[in-house]
């Protein structure tokens, strides 16, 4: 198979083997064979075997190459939208009032149940395309707006359909434990027994689930209920992750870490013990500045403690119709810097190598290293800090993915 060699590019390899910031290699070259990176480094050190005429040579005219971006936490598949609620809140209605009149997550559950598989796919595609247009090559998508066995499975099938329709890797999370639907009001345990666990089992049997997620919060599921969900996931051989410590500290991250969670997400209220638990378990911390922004939160996630503990920090959009109606990972990166005071290098790590850890895909993607899949995004910028610096500007030149 012919090798393709990309030249005349600066490479933000995001590899820990390269000691410079961003793993930056200036005037680099990168060789691809059969969909994998076979050589990467300074052009001046290119081995003879990759020189012309042995390879097809492509000149990137000085552009920046990064690993294709990874959005490791989204609720991209849903019906309807909640713009009317946004409007009501800005006209003085409280979240509780909206929720009591059938709004909030339940309004999205209603709209999602009403759509069939094709309609749900049609609703999700523009959001997916917006992300792909910004250099995203891998997207995690959760269920959690169906909350019946058939509607949860429908959401997961749509997520898989999206991956077949576009050149993008879709990683699915089963979030049956997202909210308690009205038909199970005050009967959360019955909901878990009768809906959540059977849906998980069927989804696993049909290979629709990559990981199991749960929302551990006062307004959602208690740690004891989440433990039931994680016990079942473990029995089925599925990895777990959690929405935890978003609005309060229930110890969800520590619970998830005890199951070897691949990530714990949100984490504004995480304390030092929770950070230690994530460190011990090797879990990633996924920070979601879009939800922090939309809900006008003020409690910052413990970024400095996470740094000191060397917990891998990822950044994602949390794309959902309520708390983060955002389909721009570049904007999430900008917000990670502006709102959470992360550095541009940290947010790029947060959407490449550390996001790969958060999805347990770090053996395959997330950095430009020999042996990894050749999934690259090429940008019309001079320096990687430009990716998180601008707002509302997309400098993507092209994404390379699945090319042999």
* Positions in the binding site for ligand DI6 (CB under 6 A): 105, 108, 178, 215, 243, 291, 318, 320-323
Rank residues 158 and 286 by Cβ distance to Fe ion and give the closer one: 286
Smallest gap from residue 202 Cβ to ligand DI6 (A):
22
Tell me the number of residues near Fe ion by CB under 5 A.
1
Give the per-residue contact string, 37-76, with Fe ion (x = CB under 5 A; - = no): ----------------------------------------
Tokens of 195: 């809906």
Residue 384 contact, options Fe ion, ligand DI6, none, Cβ 5-8 Å cut-off depending on partner type: none
* Long-range CB contacts (within 8 A, 24+) of 47-56: 50/3, 50/5, 54/3, 55/2, 55/3, 55/4, 55/5, 55/31, 56/2, 56/3, 56/4, 56/5
Which alpha helices (DSSP H) does 206-258 contain, by range? Answer: 223-235, 252-258
Smallest gap from residue 173 Cβ to ligand DI6 (A):
11
Rank residues 289 and 350 by Cβ distance to ligand DI6 and give the closer one: 289
Smallest gap from residue 323 Cβ to ligand DI6 (A):
4
Element (H, E) at 150: helix 149-165
Rank residues 220 and 365 by Cβ distance to ligand DI6 and give the closer one: 220
Smallest gap from residue 37 Cβ to ligand DI6 (A):
35
Burial class (CB in 10 A: 0-12, 13-18, 19+), 15: buried
Smallest gap from residue 383 Cβ to ligand DI6 (A):
32
d(CA 84, CA 177) in angstroms, rounded, equals: 26
Phi, psi of 170 (to 5 degrees): -105, 125
Residue 108 contact, options ligand DI6, Fe ion, none, Cβ 5-8 Å cut-off depending on partner type: ligand DI6
- Residue 317: count of CB within 10 angstroms of its CB: 31
Smallest gap from residue 290 Cβ to ligand DI6 (A):
9
Give the per-residue contact string, 292-321, with Fe ion (x = CB under 5 A; - = no): --------------------------x---
| CA of residue 69 relative to chain centroid, distance | 10
d(CA 325, CA 286) in angstroms, rounded, equals: 17
List contacts with Fe ion (CB under 5 A): 318
């Amino acid at each position: 198979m012919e090798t393709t060699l990309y030249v005349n590019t600066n490479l933000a390899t995001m590899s820990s083997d390269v000691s410079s910031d961003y793993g930056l290699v200036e005037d680099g070259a990168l060789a691809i064979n059969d969909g994998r990176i076979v050589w990467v480094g300074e052009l001046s050190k290119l081995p003879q075997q990759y020189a012309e005429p042995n390879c097809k040579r492509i000149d990137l005219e000085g552009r920046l190459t990064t690993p294709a971006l990874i959005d490791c936490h989204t609720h991209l598949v849903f019906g309807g939208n909640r713009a009317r609620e946004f409007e009501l809140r800005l006209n003085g209605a409280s979240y509780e009032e909206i929720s009591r009149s059938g709004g909030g997550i339940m309004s999205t559950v209603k709209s999602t149940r009403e759509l069939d598989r094709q309609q749900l796919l049609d609703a999700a595609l523009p959001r997916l395309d917006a992300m792909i247009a910004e250099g995203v090559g891998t997207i995690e998508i959760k269920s959690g707006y169906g909350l019946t066995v058939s509607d949860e499975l429908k959401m997961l099938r749509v997520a898989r359909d999206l991956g077949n329709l576009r050149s993008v890797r879709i990683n699915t999370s089963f979030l049956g434990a997202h909210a308690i639907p009205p038909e199970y009001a005050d009967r959360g345990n019955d909901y878990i027994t009768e809906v959540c666990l059977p849906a998980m089992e069927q989804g696993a049997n049909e290979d629709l689930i990559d990981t199991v997620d749960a929302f551990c919060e006062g307004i959602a599921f208690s740690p004891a209920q989440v433990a039931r969900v994680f016990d079942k996931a473990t029995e089925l051989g599925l990895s777990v992750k959690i929405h935890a410590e978003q609005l309060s500290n229930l110890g969800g991250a520590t619970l998830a870490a005890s199951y070897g969670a691949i990530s714990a997400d949100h984490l504004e209220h995480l304390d030092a013990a929770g950070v230690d638990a994530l460190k011990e378990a090797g879990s990633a911390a996924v920070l979601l500045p879009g939800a922090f922004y939309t809900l006008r939160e003020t409690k910052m996630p413990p970024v400095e403690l996470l740094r000191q503990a060397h917990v891998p920090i990822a950044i994602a959009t949390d794309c959902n119709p309520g708390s983060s109606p955002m389909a721009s990972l570049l904007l999430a990166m900008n917000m990670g810097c502006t709102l959470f005071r992360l550095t541009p290098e940290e947010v790029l790590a947060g959407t490449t190598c550390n996001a790969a850890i958060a999805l347990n895909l770090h053996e395959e993607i997330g950095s430009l290293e020999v042996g990894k899949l050749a999934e690259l995004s090429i940008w019309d910028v001079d320096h990687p800090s430009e990716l998180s610096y601008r707002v509302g500007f997309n400098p993507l030149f092209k994404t390379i993915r699945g090319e042999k």
